[in-house]
């Protein structure tokens, strides 16, 4: 085996790390950026962009710029949650084979594993450029609560990107490895992982060099994106009240609002109040440009998101109950994910667990670092010392509890002739007064002559947001630590669990569970079933994930067909169904006719939207690009 990296493919941002000179280090891009936005953009010139360059196009070309695609992975588009979030996206998401979402952009249709693969290929090329060596082996992380289709789709995406996947690793387990747990310790730790799109809580027991997951619980539709959306809703409501025009009718304007909302959220971790101004966000009668000023306090923001944070705490209670523990049984608490920087989140977590959390490793990087350590443990090889060493993180900045106006994050003095907007309160009436007709959009210029490639639209005006982007909370002054690779931690045995129960549909609409939730993996379980009707010559075994006894309340993962059954009376022919979960948490199912020994098996990733031939075609496509 060769040198391998660890990749945290996140909903909002992604990060890559590698072990070099006995230290796990984050791999930077050519400009020194350590965190890469999980964004893909299809340029009118034919190029496919990823990372920061793609994110910069969100406000220019939102229809062809894809973000938060991890939230769509392995889901049925018909679900209520999916209908809600896809309706908010400026890009087009439609129903593909088996109800799996597909994305349309720039005249092409892409599956979600393909979109994920584009991001992973960009990260792989970034590593080659920065480190000077080709990297083709990886440990890639997923939320602990990811289901089988989501895990399989992630592995397929990595394969398309040219990686050999050494292991699919749960993000909380990776975080525990990054903190150097292991060795001659016996303790129980909780990993509270609140990212951009998902929330997980995992309880891990350490016994010498064994990491055993006792329980995991989570919400795959709960994250920082939902906090952003609360601010977006408030901005949209206020603009409607003031100008009688719904910004939701203009995709470009809405993307500018979302971009500013994310920056506001970050500033409110450091400032008591934030003010933002969006220039020329709409146009009034006669084409007169309208600026929109928005002000929000941290207290107001916390009241808007408190129910979401409380939902995460309730999930923590569920995880402890599954592990048959209480908070007093825990020895350590780790925070993971950018959303844990929010002061309200930290207060709620500290109050629930009754202890100070561990935060000395950057929560945006800790998962990738742990994945790199595990990759090192699997290959035994690290980067030579004479290869380029990334720059250590810069120190955190002191927060200023006052409002500053900035342009693109650079502080500028507040001009005396600029309005203070102090009269614009946030407690607006629920019933809006009668008002003039809706504001028309900017006058449409004459259509340009037909050309081969559509040009980029003009860039929108610069929006102003108080504070400085991505500064750290008050209690995170100084540099984050870069962990040494603990030899014991690097050679630990990881015993993970399956996050949901797995079973098959039986007569009467019931689900017979074969593998229980939080069963240790790898695991194999089997169950005997019989034919349900006379002269039955074929059975279709529907595989479900979930804990309910009713199939309609669980998630259909796939189906195994077994044919060639001898015609006989109902119940006479026996069929053995075997469920096997490997170390990546991916399920394989087989059905065996007990009379003949004939068997049929499947890997559930085939129902993630791509079959084996399609995967091979994409591997070939991206190996040539």
* Residue 70 in domain: no
* Residue 379 in domain: no
Q: Residues near 46 by Cβ (< 8 Å), separated by ≥ 6?
A: 453
* Residue 603 in domain: yes
* Residue 588 in domain: yes
CA–CA separation, 494 vs 211, rounded Å?
5
The H or E element that residue 562 is part of is strand 555-563
Alpha helices (runs of H) in 193-250, residue ranges in sequence order:
224-243
Buried b (16+ CB within 10 A) or exposed e, 189-205: bbbbbbbbbbbbbbbbb
CA–CA separation, 535 vs 512, rounded Å?
23
SS3 475: coil
**Structure tokens that stand for 566 in this block:** 């001898």
Distances (CA, A) of 296 to 116, 277, 291, 452: 35, 12, 17, 45
If phi > 0 it is left, if psi is from -120 to 50 it is alpha, else beta; for residue 82 that is alpha
Better pLDDT: 509 or 411: 509
**Cis before 522? omega within 30:** yes
pLDDT computed for residue 460 by the predictor: 76
Task: pLDDT band for 469, please (50, 70, 90 cuts).
Answer: very low
Residues in the chain: 625
* Residue 32 in domain: no
Residue 417 has pLDDT above 50, yes or no: no
Question: What is the domain extent for residue 588?
Answer: 498-613
Number of domains making up the chain: 1
Angle between helices 612-624 and 148-160 (to 10 degrees): 40
CB 137 within 8 A of CB 3: yes
Task: pLDDT band for 323, please (50, 70, 90 cuts).
Answer: very high
CB 294 within 8 A of CB 279: no
The H or E element that residue 444 is part of is none
* Residue 508 in domain: yes
* Residue 105 in domain: no
- For the segment 526-573, what is each residue's pLDDT rounded down to a tens digit? 888 888 888 888 888 888 888 888 988 888 887 887 778 888 888 888
Q: pTM for this structure? A: 0.80
pLDDT computed for residue 410 by the predictor: 28
CB 36 within 8 A of CB 396: no
- 276: Cα within 13 Å, side-chain hemisphere: 31
The candidate with the shortest Cα–Cα distance to 376, out of 137, 34, 29, is: 137
Alpha helices (runs of H) in 111-250, residue ranges in sequence order:
112-131, 148-160, 171-178, 224-243
The H or E element that residue 509 is part of is none
pLDDT computed for residue 425 by the predictor: 32
Distances (CA, A) of 174 to 69, 204, 289, 368, 441: 22, 11, 50, 7, 49
3-state helix, strand, coil in the chain (%, to 5): 30, 30, 40
pLDDT computed for residue 454 by the predictor: 61
Q: What angle do CA 289, 292, 293 make, to 5 degrees?
A: 145
What DSSP character marks residue 181? -
Average pLDDT over every residue of 234-257: 93
CB 274 within 8 A of CB 268: yes
CA–CA separation, 265 vs 470, rounded Å?
10
- Domain of 538, CATH number, reads 2.60.34.10
**Structure tokens that stand for 516 in this block:** 């229980």
The number of beta carbons lying within 10 Å of the beta carbon of residue 597 is: 8
**Structure tokens that stand for 75 in this block:** 């889901």
- For the segment 103-124, what is each residue's pLDDT rounded down to a tens digit? 999 989 999 999 999 999 999 9
pLDDT computed for residue 431 by the predictor: 33
Average pLDDT over every residue of 158-180: 91
Query: Percentage of residues in the chain with pLDDT exceeding 70?
Result: 82
* Residue 120 in domain: no
Better pLDDT: 421 or 522: 522
Q: Residues near 352 by Cβ (< 8 Å), separated by ≥ 6?
A: 313, 316, 327
Residue 158 dihedral angles phi and psi, to the nearest 5°: -65, -35
Q: What angle do CA 510, 513, 515 make, to 5 degrees?
A: 165
The candidate with the shortest Cα–Cα distance to 204, out of 319, 361, 351, is: 319
Place of tokens 């929108």: 460
């Amino acid at each position: 085996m060769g040198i391998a990296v660890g990749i945290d493919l996140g909903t909002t941002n992604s990060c890559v790390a590698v072990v070099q000179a006995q230290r796990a280090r984050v791999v930077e891009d050519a400009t020194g950026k350590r965190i890469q936005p999980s964004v893909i953009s299809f340029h009118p010139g034919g190029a496919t962009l990823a990372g920061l360059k793609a994110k910069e196009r969100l406000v220019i070309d939102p229809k062809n710029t894809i973000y938060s695609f991890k939230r769509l992975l392995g889901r049925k588009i018909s679900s209520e949650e999916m209908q809600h979030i896809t309706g908010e996206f400026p890009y087009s998401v439609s129903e593909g084979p088996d109800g799996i979402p597909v994305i349309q952009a720039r005249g092409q249709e892409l599956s979600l594993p393909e979109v994920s693969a584009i991001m992973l290929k960009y990260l792989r090329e970034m590593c080659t450029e920065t480190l000077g060596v080709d990297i083709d082996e990886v440990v890639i992380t997923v939320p602990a609560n990811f289901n089988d289709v989501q895990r399989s789709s992630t592995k397929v995406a990595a394969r398309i990107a040219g990686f050999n996947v050494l292991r699919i690793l749960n993000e909380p387990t990776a975080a525990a490895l990054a903190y150097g747990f292991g060795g001659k310790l016996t303790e129980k730790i909780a990993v509270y992982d609140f990212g951009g799109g998902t929330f997980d809580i995992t309880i891990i027991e350490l016994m010498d060099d064994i990491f055993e997951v006792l329980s995991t619980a989570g919400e795959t539709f709960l994250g920082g994106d939902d906090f952003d959306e609360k601010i977006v809703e408030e901005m949209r409501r206020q603009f409607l009240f003031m100008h009688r025009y719904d910004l939701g009718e203009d995709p470009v304007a809405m993307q500018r609002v979302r971009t500013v909302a994310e920056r506001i959220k970050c500033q409110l971790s450091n400032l008591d109040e934030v003010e933002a101004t969006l220039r020329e966000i709409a146009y009034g009668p006669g084409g007169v440009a309208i600026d929109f000023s928005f002000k929000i306090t941290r207290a107001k923001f916390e009241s808007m998101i408190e129910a979401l944070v409380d939902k995460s705490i309730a999930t923590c209670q569920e995880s402890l109950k599954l592990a048959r523990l209480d908070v007093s049984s825990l020895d350590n608490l780790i925070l993971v994910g950018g959303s844990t920087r929010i002061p309200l989140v930290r207060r709620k977590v500290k109050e629930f667990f009754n202890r100070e959390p561990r935060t000395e490793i950057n929560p945006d990087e800790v998962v990738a670092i742990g994945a790199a350590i595990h990759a090192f443990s699997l290959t035994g090889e690290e980067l030579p010392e004479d290869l380029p060493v990334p720059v250590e993180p810069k120190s955190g900045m002191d927060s200023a509890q006052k409002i500053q106006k900035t342009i693109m994050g650079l502080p500028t003095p507040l001009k005396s002739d600029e309005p203070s907007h102090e009269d614009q309160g946030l407690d607006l009436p629920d019933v809006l007064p009668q008002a003039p007709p809706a504001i028309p959009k900017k006058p449409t210029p004459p259509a340009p002559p037909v050309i081969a490639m559509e040009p980029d639209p003009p860039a929108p005006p610069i929006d102003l947001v108080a504070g400085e982007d991505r500064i750290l909370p008050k209690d995170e002054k100084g540099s984050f630590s870069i962990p040494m690779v603990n030899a014991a931690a690097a050679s630990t045995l990881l015993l993970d669990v399956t996050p949901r129960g797995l079973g098959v549909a039986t007569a009467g609409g019931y689900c017979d569970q074969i593998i229980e939730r939080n069963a240790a993996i790898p695991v194999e379980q089997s169950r005997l079933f019989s034919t349900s009707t006379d002269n039955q010559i074929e059975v279709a075994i529907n595989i479900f994930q979930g804990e309910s006894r009713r199939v309609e309340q669980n998630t259909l993962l796939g189906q195994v067909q077994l044919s060639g059954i001898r015609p006989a009376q109902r119940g006479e022919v026996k069929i053995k169904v075997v469920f096997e979960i490997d170390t990546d948490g991916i399920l394989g199912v087989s059905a065996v006719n007990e009379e003949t020994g004939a068997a049929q098996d499947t890997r559930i990733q085939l129902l993630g939207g791509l079959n084996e031939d399609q995967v091979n075609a994409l591997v070939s496509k991206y190996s040539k690009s």
